[in-house]
Chain A
């Protein structure tokens, strides 16, 4: 096999695996691929609606075909939610691939991949860091939380414990 064929095979493999959810070992998780409508939770639940799902400033969810509403609380980036991944699809049907977490405290969805339904292009649910990196050129996206100006400001003001003046002992 020449190098080109191997590369092509690897790329195919990567493309194939780019749309299959991975288990995280969380209680009550179930790998799930489902078509659903992206909705603004506040609007869907209370009728208090905003243009374009609040333009990234409102929490979003999936309205399933059976009428069930599931909040999407997580994407694939460390310490980040899925609003940046879903906001561009406000009001549209997507295929969501990820983990349905049927926790009795709160059912929720962790998004890993998404595409516009039924046959849009798959993309990873990693647009939080993608957008953060665009807004913070030169800073390492994978460690965004260590470099984010809002985080640094809050921790400088209130400390790591949230209590001003209380510091970890060395």
Chain B
């Protein structure tokens, strides 16, 4: 076989091989700005679940191991699976510390079966808790 046809054969083998390897989701690079929330209370709407009014409950839920998400301005919810190389997504002390904060993060977004899974590569900005909801909603869910 001449060198050219060897190359061609290798290339064709590659083409035949690649599509079978990974039909799974590929990530999209994203920048997300939003509030760190408790996924369960917010998505199910079992109570008012944003800002200062819900901070304590959001801490309970995160300590209880419920996934933490980021909700952006369009109410899109991103479940956080990893933060800056830390793959602990169950009551991670680093994430507990920033519950309810308004943050901007850069990461990789994987969408699968209707769920937005976010791998946070970098927390670019953290404004702390700025969503003052307690004057309207008190302290959720028990009022104290």
A residues adjacent to B (C-beta < 8 A) = 24, 26-27, 41-42, 45-48, 50, 54, 56-59, 68-71, 73-74, 77, 79-84, 101, 103-108, 110, 128, 144-145, 148, 150-151, 154-155, 158, 160-163, 166, 168
Write out the residue numbers on chain B whose beta carbons fall within 8 Å of the beta carbon of A148.
63
B81 touches A27 (CB 8 A): no
- Complex Cα distance, B93 from A82, in Å, reads 18
Which residue of chain A lies nearest to B44 when distances are taken between CB atoms in the complex?
A26
Task: Choose from B25, B79, B101 the contact partner of A106 (Cβ within 8 Å).
Answer: B79
Interfacial residues, chain B to chain A (CB-CB below 8 A): 24-25, 27, 39-40, 43-46, 52-53, 55-57, 59-61, 63-67, 69, 75-77, 79, 81-82, 87-93, 96-97, 99-101, 108, 110, 112-117, 119, 128-129, 134, 139, 144
**Which of B77, B88, B117, B129 contacts A41 (CB under 8 A)?**
B117
Shortest Cβ distance from B20 into chain A, in angstroms? 16
Indicate if the CB atoms of B65 and A80 lie closer than 8 Å.
yes
Interfacial chain A residues near B82, Cβ < 8 Å: 42, 48
Whole-angstrom distance between the alpha carbons of A70 and B144 in the complex?
Answer: 34
Can you report 18 A-B residue pairs in the complex whose CB atoms are below 8 A from each other?
A42-B119, A45-B81, A48-B87, A54-B88, A57-B88, A59-B79, A59-B81, A79-B64, A80-B64, A105-B77, A106-B43, A106-B115, A107-B113, A107-B115, A155-B59, A161-B56, A162-B52, A163-B129
Known contacts A69-B113, A154-B96, A168-B139; A58 and B89 CB within 8 A of each other: yes
User: Is B43 within 8 A of A105, CB to CB?
Assistant: yes
